[in-house]
Structure formats: C-alpha cells, structure tokens
Structure 1
Amino acid sequence: MAPETILERLLRLHPKAIDLSLGRMQRMLDALGNPERALPPVIHVAGTNGKGSTCAYLRAVLEAAGHRVHAYTSPHLVRFNERIVLAGREIDDPAFAAILEECEARNGGVPITLFEITTAAALLAFSRTPADALVLEVGLGGRFDATNVVERPIATAIAPVSIDHQQYLGDTLEQIAFEKAGILKPGVPGIVGIQDPRALAVIEARAAAVGAPLVRWGQEFSARSEGERLVFEMDGVRETLPRPALPGAHQLGNAALALAVARSVAGVLGNGAVDRARGLERAVWPARLQRLARGPLLGRLRSDWSLWLDGGHNEDAGRVIAEHVAGWRRAAPGAPVHLVLGMLNTKDPRGYLRHFAGLVDSVATVTIPGEQASLSAEDLAAAAGDAGVPAATAASVAEAVSRAGADPRAGGRVLVAGSLYLAGKVLADHG
C-alpha cells in the first residue's frame, strides 16, 4: 500500500492536527517496545527560525567526518518521506509503508495526532537501522513536542527564537522561549544560537533549573564574516572556514550554531576542522533562498533573469529575507525585484511584509493551491496594503511570474516566498 494512503487513514485518528502533549506519544512508544531507548547518539534541535538549516549544516559536517547520520525534520516540501533520512538516505516507500502499518496496528485506533504517530514510526525506523548519530529536529515548540521523548541526548541546540505559532506556544517571546527551552536536559550541553536578550534570559533560567550547561552565542562561541570566509571561535580556538553554502547573511548564525554543536560533541562523534569546512560547503536545504535552475516557471523569464524560492513565513523570516533582497539592490541597483507571495491564515502577513516596504518593484499575491488554510490572494493583498506594500492578486504563481517577467529591464529577480507549503508546490513542478 502507498504511504500516502496510510497517512490519510492516520490523519483521521485525532480531530486536531496539533495537540501538544507527551502522553499519547509515550503510550505509542511503550506499545512499540520503546524504540526511543535504542537510538544512536541524539542531537536535539529546537528554535523558531533556522533550526532546519542548522540541522542541514550539522548533518553535512558529521557526514563529512565519515559518520552515518539519521535525520528527522519537518515539514516536508514535496514528499512525506523527506522527513525521515536513514543513515544518509531518504526512507523508501516500501519501508515507510511497512513501518506506518506497524505503528497503526500497535496503536489500535486510539486517538493520536499524525505528527505523533509518524514521529513514533521514524524513531522505530531509526532504532532498527545502524547509524552513528541522529539529528532530531523539533516539530513545534519543544517541551511537549513529540520528539521530546529522548531522555539523554548527547546535546541539545536552540536556534533563534521569535514570535510564531502563538496559538500553541504563547503570545510573548518569553513564553515561546520557555517552550523551546523544554528540550534542555540535566547534564546535557545546550548550545544556544543568536537570541533576543529576553529569550536568552528564559533559556538561561531553565538551564539553571534543570542543570544543563550552556554554550552560548556571543559568550562561549562566536562567528563573523571576513570577505569570503567565516571566522569561528570557541574555547579559545579560531577556525577560518568557507562561507556557508546556503545564501543569506542570517546563515552565518545557523552555521555557527551547527559548528558549536559539532565541536561540543566531538568527543563522541569525532570531527575536525577539515570536516567542518567540508560540511559548510556541502550543506543542502531546499526552499531557503534557493535559486531554481530548471522548470516551467523559468520558461516565463528571459535568460538574464533568475527565479528564487523561500519558505520563511514569520516576521523574523521576513526581516532576514528583506535584508537579502536589499543586498541584491545594492549589488545591482538597476535590476528589478518582484515578489510572489502566498501565506497560511495562521501567519502574520503584515509583520512579514512590512520589511519589504519600498524594497520590491511589485508584489503579486496568490492563494496556495490545495491548502485549505491558505489566505486568499485577496485577503493577502489587503494585508500587504496595510503593511505599506501595495499588491495585486494573481490567479497562480505562473501568472504572477509571467507578469513580473514582462518588466523590460535586464537582470531581474523573482522571489516566490511566504510559505513552505507554497514552496513545496513550486518544487513539485521543478524537480
């Protein structure tokens, strides 16, 4: 049976897509014989923005050092299988279907969310496949996330915390940081990326309460750009490394967090400066300021134009993406930039878009195809106007790209952004 058919069945086991709790997860794992206790060394990663990129860098560094690495990430872009990487390879359909059916049978029809039962399936697969490490990304929050069942990871990491998912995690930065800090464990080093001081204070208080030693950006480690190199410092040792493979100034912080984690776990998972350099150069993480190299949308643009894709969807993501667009503007003042935007109705389009005011030549809003939770193109255009960024609706991404491509100026860029779900739709058509 195809995994998609089983996933559709599993989706009906619980009336809510998200219902943060560890009780159902622990019951499921008990029924499976507790696979979470038979995993290779685990590195658990939380955060609002950048946790996926951090996982990508960390996996690349460990693989460059010769380690076999499991990885668990979410959401997927095109296929659900993307979430489960077994010793460096995405789980195939037969194996995925078999493990889903096993979990379905063990669950016995009891209510459980799709994320919980698929996380249990992933942990079961990880426990049965030999590997040297598991890079485990939190799905949502941390304290009650389904991944927070590993009692003794070798390290935890917290990427930048910002406002997102308020309906589940709280309305303030401090409340959200408390949920993220829920992955900290007694005696386990917690590596903390760039943080707002308010978030850092909460993380530090939680670390003190549970007895987790911290390795913090700006204190125990730091990084900076010097020309085309990244200079990383930790424990009094300086390394000069290649610039991170993923574009955007914000990736320096994500790469540095991964480097600090790699250095912190080197006693268990050996890695050296050469491995860390190779990992920075080899990391791949789609839909994060990704330049598309092929596909039908490119046929709607002249050869001197480029098409970019990004899935960031909250205010802080809008800020860092707008900073990158501003860099485009400085590098090529006469080249136009057009934004194609789609967002879910759980996001804050005004907060995201306000950073683009006066920065782009046009904004075209679209309804994300096939997504019930999508903002309509009309509502998104109205929100853009409220944010000081005039926008016009388009019936599809293709129409929006064609409209942008009619600009007669040379060297233009089109950025499709605002949602990982929209990015997934685009990537499905672009290989």
Structure 2
Amino acid sequence: MSARTYSDAIEHLNSLQSNFATLEAVRLSGGRISESAIPEMVEYLERIGYQQEDLNRLNVIHVTGTKGKGSTCAFTDSILRHVRPDWKVGLYTSPHLVAVRERIRINGAPISEEDFTRFFFEVWDRLETNDNRKLSTTPSKPMYFRYVTLVAFHAFLSMKVDATILEVGVGGAYDSTNIVPRPVVAGVSALGIDHTAVLGKTLREIAWQKGGIYKEGVPALTVNQPQEGMAMLRQQSIDLKASEFEVVPLAPELTDIKLGLAGVHQVQNAKLAIQLVKKFLQIHESVEPEPELSESFIKGLEETKWPGRCQTVPDPKEQTTTWFLDGAHTVESLDCCMQWFVSPDVALRSNDSRLRPARVLIFNCTHGRNGSSFLGTILAKAASQLQLHESAELPGTLFDHVIFCANVTFADGHFKGDLTAVSIPEDDLAQLRTQQELAAAWATLMPSFPSQNIHVLPSIEHAVQIVRGVGKDGIVEVLVTGSLHLVGGLIEVAGLSSVAL
C-alpha cells in the first residue's frame, strides 16, 4: 500500500460529511437528534484508547456563545502564549478558512500536513480495529466535526500540551467538545438574539444549551447578556454546581489598547478572554490576578490574529486591490461588520471624492437563511454609519458592483479538497437559487442600482475574475462577507494565503 498523504486524509474526512438532508433533520428536531452526541463521543474516545479523565490533562479553557466565541478563543490563546511563552498551547476552533488543519493549532500555528495526516490515520485505524460498540445506534465512524474533534484530542494528548483553548462547535450541552470532565474554566460569549429565529429556539433555550458547558467545581464566566439569557445561564451554573458564576464587567482599561482584532464589538470578547486567562492562571498556577494588565497581557491583546474577521488584506499580486474580509453570517454580526467597514478607518478613509476607489461587495449566505433581511441590515447600517460620519455618500452608491456567488471554489465546478461541501442542496446549487434570490432582494431594496452591476455567479473564481476586471481601471476595494466558507474560498482563489492566514 502506498504511503498515506494529506490529500488521502482529506478525502477520507470528506466522506464523513453530513448532507443537507441530514443537517436539516437536526435543525427541524430542535437539536434533539444531537442528544446522542455525548454518549457516542465517549464511546469513540474509548475506542481510540482514551478515557474521559485523560482529557483533563489538556487543562482546558472551554468557550461557547453565539457571537464572538472564536474571537474570544483567539484572544485567550494569544494572551496565554504571551504570558507563558515556554508553554505548548493548543487551540481548537471551527470552521477552517482554507485548510482543515487550521482547526488544530499549536502555539498559534496550524499543525503540519504531516502531523495532521499521522494523527488522522491513527484515529481512523484505531476505530477500524476496535469496532466493538456499546450503543447499537452508534455509527462505525463519527461525522465530520466529531471526527476532527477526536483528532484534536489525540493530537493535543500526544503532543503533551500545557493548556488547551477549546471552542464549542454548535450549542454547548450536546456539543462533541463537551466530554471534558473538568475543564479549568468555562466561558460563554454573547448570545445573539437573531439566532433564536434562525434556530427556531427561544433565547432561554439557547442559553440553556450554552450553559451546558458549565461543570461542577469549575468557574462559570459570561459577558453581559439579555435578561432572559442571563437568568438561564445563572441557573445552569447552579444546577451544574459551578464553583462560581461571574459576569465579566465593562473594560475601561482596554480604551487605550489597540486590539489585534478590528471592530468595537471585540472589546467585550477581549475582556472575557482576559478574565478566562486570569482565572486559569489563578487555579492552575496559583497566580493571583492583578488589577492592572501586565505587559504580556497587553502584548497578547495587541498581537491577536483571527483571519477572516474584520480583516484588511492588501492583494499581494494586484497593488490596486484591497480585500476586506469578514465571515459575518447573522444579522447582528453583519451589523458589526458594516460598523467596521463604513468607518474612517476603512471605507471612509478619504473625504476627497476624486480619490474614491471602486467598491465591490461579494456576498453569499447559507441556504435557508433570510438573505433579504441580511442585505437590509447591510444597507441600513451603511446608512446610519454614513450619517454618523457626515459622509456625502449614499447607501445606494456605497458599492459600484455587487456579486452573489456560490461557495464553489473554482470555475470548473470543483472545490478545493479542504473546502469541499456536500451540505448545499444540489438543486439549489445547480440553479443558483439562493444567489438569484439575493440578487432579486438587492434590486428590490435598491431599485436605482444598475442592473448590469448585479452579478449572479456559480463560483468564487468567477467573482475574483470580475474584481480583477474592475481593478484594471484603477483602485478597487472589496468587501467579502456573509459566510466564512466564502471568505475561505476567496483567500484560496485570490492567492491571499501568504498575507491573510
């Protein structure tokens, strides 16, 4: 048998993806199908040679939320690495932008293709060899996210990390990361109200799910939340016997610090990260927290990187092109995105109309989401920001071109291996139904917008070709938003990996 390659690992991993029908069944069940996740994950963990208690050796900081959990993890990771530069710090997040191995990081860097391949097939082979199942309903192999979670646990244990920042995938209580018996500390970032409509759940139900990561004897942290959500989180901390429940206060000390992540919404995420690290060091290292931020804390905040979130990327090939990347995919996160983009630091850098670049919006959203509402949010926030900054521009003329494209990577209809997605309904993809609906919604919201500048395209590569054409006539600035998968594919196709990741 030939040597196994990274491409082989990705091909095997993609065979574990859930199709659209399966994901839709989970959504319609209100998450009840996911209730089997914890016992199944424990079974998979044991089949690859570990017990749940082994995961305590990872010294976990567990983070969930509906907004900002990834950014909070990025801040936490950076702070901890600056405070303890001699440590080996693991970070597990999702989704990835360009390569699956981005999800599993050691000291800020994705594990190598060689390491990912080795750990991937060690898990695969152990599952193949030990097929004894306690539960008759447990599939032989876990689904995509659960499998990558197993690989992360195996990698971090094998590499003997000193600490692990563990981001929940979806929810909390039934998430496959939630099998760590005793993390060092657990935190919940902001609960997005618009998730209640998308998930068909009340804020109380969402808070119950998120608070499900709290554990007996473990500090339970959160940021300020809507009243109903806060009450449920507090109740979860009591029911699950957390050692304490702390609501992270406002952060005036961050006013003079230039955070590594752009956007005013990041202040709350940074403050939660600070408290998570302080609590971790207090428990794990017996280091009493100081009221003032140390130089290493500040440096960690300033040097935090989290690609694809309010990120400015000069094109390394086309000097006339700048990309503004934000994977915002909810009404609230798109509001934050436009607050960042339509500001004097980004799109409104110059008041001289003669220096105004051509602007392009590239947008896509997941099938089933309210694209019209999303576009309405973009335009409404743009209007309020233009008024706030006393700009002469109008929301309808902020962009010269708008592009609605599928998340397919290449013009020939193929995906980059790491970006392959089987969760898009085939008929929707074939007819570009979602993109057509977005274009129609834009035309309705902006009836004066030139119809020839509204583009519906089958791939990200097609979108980049349009941008390259616009860029031939001068400076062009491109906002890419609505989907992290779109942002990741754009980084790949436009050749931005060397500067964006």
Q: Same fold (TM over 0.5)?
A: yes
Q: Distance in 1 between matches of 2:7 and 2:445?
A: 39
Stretch moving more, 340-349 or 306-315:
340-349
Amino acid at match of 1:379: E
Shift of 1:162: 1.4
Match of 2:173 among 143, 149, 152: 143
Shift of 1:427: 1.5
- 1:287 aligned onto 2:308: yes
Match of 2:105 among 82, 85, 90: 85
Contact 1:319–1:352 (8 Å) recurs in 2: no
Relative to its length, the structure with more helix (as a share) is: 2
Q: For 1:173-188, what aligned pairs fall within 5 Å after superposition?
A: 173-188=203-218
Q: 1:394 to 1:168 in 2, by over 3 A?
A: closer
Q: 1:2 to 1:133 in 2, by over 3 A?
A: same
Q: Secondary structure at the match of 2:261?
A: coil
- 1:71 aligned onto 2:84: no
Residue in 2 aligned with 1:159?
189
Match of 1:398 among 464, 478, 487: 464
Q: Distance in 2 between matches of 1:164 and 1:2?
A: 42
Residue in 1 aligned with 2:362?
340
Residue in 2 aligned with 1:250?
265
- 1:96 aligned onto 2:116: yes
Q: Distance in 2 between matches of 1:90 and 1:348?
A: 34
Q: Distance in 2 between matches of 1:388 and 1:413?
A: 20
Q: For 1:209-358, what aligned pairs fall within 5 Å after superposition?
A: 209-212=239-242, 213-217=244-248, 221-224=249-252, 230-231=254-255, 242-267=257-282, 268-269=284-285, 273-296=294-317, 298=318, 302=320, 306-328=322-344, 332-333=350-351, 334=353, 335=356, 337-357=359-379, 358=383
Which digits, 9 at most, give the CA deviation of each residue in 1:380-419, with x for residues without a partner?
21243456686812432224424664787x7x63211111
Q: Distance in 2 between matches of 1:384 and 1:179?
A: 35
Q: Distance in 1 between matches of 2:405 and 2:341?
A: 20
Q: Percent sequence identity over matched residues? A: 28
Q: 1:168 to 1:25 in 2, by over 3 A?
A: farther
Which digits, 9 at most, give the CA deviation of each residue in 1:262-306, with x for residues without a partner?
22222225586222101011111100111112344x45xx3xx63
Stretch moving more, 349-358 or 162-171:
162-171
Q: Secondary structure at the match of 1:131?
A: coil
Residue in 1 aligned with 2:399?
361
Q: Distance in 2 between matches of 1:193 and 1:346?
A: 30
Contact 1:242–1:277 (8 Å) recurs in 2: yes
Q: Distance in 2 between matches of 1:183 and 1:58?
A: 17
Q: Distance in 1 between matches of 2:325 and 2:466?
A: 14
Shift of 1:351: 3.0
Contact 2:198–2:369 (8 Å) recurs in 1: no
Q: Distance in 2 between matches of 1:158 and 1:116?
A: 21
Shift of 1:107: 2.1
Residue in 2 aligned with 1:12?
15
Shift of 1:323: 1.4
Match of 1:27 among 43, 53, 77: 43
Aligned residues: 408
Q: 1:4 to 1:162 in 2, by over 3 A?
A: farther
Shift of 1:200: 1.7
Residue in 2 aligned with 1:384?
442
Contact 1:48–1:164 (8 Å) recurs in 2: no
Q: 1:89 to 1:68 in 2, by over 3 A?
A: same
Stretch moving more, 345-354 or 250-259:
345-354
Give the alignment's Cα RMSD to 1 decimal.
Answer: 2.8
Match of 1:195 among 197, 208, 225: 225
Q: 1:164 to 1:82 in 2, by over 3 A?
A: farther
Q: Secondary structure at the match of 2:478?
A: strand
Q: Distance in 1 between matches of 2:125 and 2:174?
A: 24
Residue in 2 aligned with 1:415?
479
Q: Distance in 2 between matches of 1:167 and 1:36?
A: 35
Which digits, 9 at most, give the CA deviation of each residue in 1:346-365, with x for residues without a partner?
43323322222243334322
Amino acid at match of 1:12: S
Q: Secondary structure at the match of 1:416?
A: strand
Q: Secondary structure at the match of 1:246?
A: coil
Structure 2 gap ranges (5+): 27-32, 132-139, 384-394, 409-414, 416-420
Q: 1:111 to 1:352 in 2, by over 3 A?
A: same
Shift of 1:430: 1.2
Q: Distance in 1 between matches of 2:470 and 2:189?
A: 35
Q: Secondary structure at the match of 1:255?
A: helix
Stretch moving more, 166-175 or 126-135:
166-175
Asked which structure has the greater CA Rg, the reply is 2
Residue in 1 aligned with 2:66?
48
Normalising by structure 1, report the TM-score. Answer: 0.85
Q: Distance in 2 between matches of 1:174 and 1:99?
A: 39
Structure 1 gap ranges (5+): 232-240
Contact 1:313–1:347 (8 Å) recurs in 2: no
Shift of 1:260: 1.4
Contact 1:36–1:124 (8 Å) recurs in 2: no
